[in-house]
Amino acid sequence: MSTDIDARRKKRAMLVFVGCCVMHACCFGTVLNSSSAFFAIVPAAVGVDMGVFAMWITCYGIAALFGTFFAGILIPKFGARIVISLDVVVTALCVVAFTFADASWTWQFMAIGAVMGLTGGMYFLYATPLLMGAWFGKKVLGRYLGIAQLMSGVGGALFPLVFTSLSTVMGWQSAYYLNAILLLCILFFSLTVFCEDPAKIGLHAFGAEEDEMGESKSLPGVPLKFALPTLAFVLLFLGCMLSAFPGSFNSFVQANAVEVLGPEALIFSSTLMIALQVGYIIASLVGGILVDKIGVRWLTVILYAILIVCYVSFSMASTELALMVTAFFFGMNNAIVTISVPMLAREHFGMKAYDKILSYCMMGVGLCGSMGAPVIGIIFDMTKTYSGSFLVGAVIAVVAIAIILLSFVPAKKVREAHWEA
C-alpha cells in the first residue's frame, strides 16, 4: 500500500512539475521574454509611438504587485485550479485584444497591461513557487524549481524567433493569436493536475522527509501571526525587494552596448539578450541542483558575488567580447528572484504560511522591479552614461546580500519559538 501511495505522489508531483514548466515557457516566455518581437513590429505597423506602446509593460509591472498579493488570498480560498484557469483565460483574451490596436490607442495599452499584470502576477510569479513548494520536499525542491523556472528563459530564446517569422509571413496579428493559443495550453494542467496542497487528495510532497509530513492539512512551519511581526520577516522582505533591482537592468543591456560602442553596434547589442537568457537558463539549472547540495544561503551568496562582479565589469567594459561575457554572467542574476526568493521564504518560516509569506515577498520584488527602470533612466539622464547606474546597482547588491544574510539569525529564533508540526 505504501509503495502504491509513493508511486501516486511521485507521478502527481511530476505532472505538477511539467505543468509549471509549460506555464513558464508559455506565459513568462511568451508574454514578457518575447515582447521584444512585438516591440520591433507593432508600433510601426499600427502607427503609434514606441513610448505609447511600451506603456503596457509599465502598467503590467505595477499591476503584478497586486496580483501576487491577491493570489495569496484567492488561491488558498478557491484553490489553484480555479484561480489559475481563470487567470490564463483572461490573459489569453488580453493578448488577443492587442490585435485590435490602431493609431488612436493610448489608454487601451495601459488597461491591457494592467489586467495582464494582475492575472500574470497571480500564476507565473506566485503559483509556480507555491505549487512546487507544496509538491516537492526540501531536499529535492531546488533542482525541480530551477528547471521549471528556466523554461521562461527557453521560451524567451525560442518564441521571439517564431513570432517574428510568423509576423513576416502571416502578419503581426497571427503572432498574437499563436501567443494566446500557447497560453491556453496551460489549462490542461491547471484543470486536471494543479492542487496547492497534496494533503487535500491524501498525498504528501515527493521527496519529503518525516518532519515535513503531517497527518492533517496543516503543513509544518511558523504560523503567519508569528512570522509577520518579526525582524526576520522585515529583513527577508527588504532583501527580496532589493533582489529585483538587477532585473531592471536587463532592458538596458542593449542600450548600454550602443552607448559604449556606438550606433553601429545595434545589431550586435541584440545578441547580448541571447547571451543573457542563456546565462539565466544555465543558472536556473545548476542553481536548482546546487541549492539542494549547499543550501539557499550559500547559493544566494554565490549569485550575488557574480552579480557584483558583473556590475563592475559593465561599468568598465569597452569591447564586444567583454560585453558578451558580462551579459552571459549577468543573466544568472535572474535566478536570485526565481530560486533564492521562494527558497528563502520556505527556509525561514516553513510551509505553514508559505503561500502568504511568499506573496508578500513577491510584492516587494514587483515593487522594486517596477521602480528600477526609472531610477536607471534618471541616473543616465544626469550622467549621460550607464556606468553610474551599474555602480549604484553594485552598492544595492552589497546591501541586499547583507540584509539577506542577517535575516537568518532572527529567523532561527522565530522557528525555535513558534514552529508547529
Amino acid code (one letter) for 124? F
**Conformational region of residue 418, where left means phi above 0, alpha means psi within -120 to 50, and beta covers everything else:** alpha
> How many angstroms separate the Cα of 120 from the Cα of each of 16, 107, 275, 411?
18, 19, 25, 30
In the chain, the domains with their CATH numbers are 1-198 (1.20.1250.20), 221-421 (1.20.1250.20)
Q: Spell out the residues 6+ positions from residue 37 whose beta carbon is closer than 8 angstroms to its own.
A: 159, 160, 161, 163, 164, 167, 175
Give the three cell numbers for residue 3.
509503495
**Conformational region of residue 202, where left means phi above 0, alpha means psi within -120 to 50, and beta covers everything else:** left
61, 121 contact by CB (below 8 A) = no
From first to last of the 421 residues of the chain, give the pLDDT tens digit: 467 777 888 899 999 999 999 998 888 778 877 776 676 678 778 888 766 777 787 788 788 878 878 887 888 889 889 999 999 999 999 999 999 988 888 888 889 989 998 888 777 677 888 888 889 887 788 788 878 877 887 887 778 778 878 888 898 899 999 999 999 999 999 999 998 888 888 888 887 665 555 544 567 899 989 999 999 999 999 998 898 887 777 767 777 887 888 877 766 776 787 788 888 888 888 887 888 889 889 999 999 999 999 999 988 888 889 989 998 998 888 778 778 888 899 899 998 888 788 888 888 887 777 677 667 777 877 888 888 888 988 999 999 999 999 999 999 999 999 998 7
43, 238 contact by CB (below 8 A) = no
Looking at 123-203, list the stretches that DSSP marks H as alpha helix, in order from N- to C-terminal side: 128-135, 138-170, 172-184, 186-192
Q: Can you spell out the DSSP letters for 331-346?
A: GGGHHIIIIIHHHHHH
256, 237 contact by CB (below 8 A) = no
> How many angstroms separate the Cα of 64 from the Cα of each of 82, 205, 359, 402?
19, 28, 11, 27
Could you give the CA distance from residue 289 to residue 217 in angstroms, rounded to a whole number? Answer: 29
* Whether this model's pTM surpasses 0.75: no
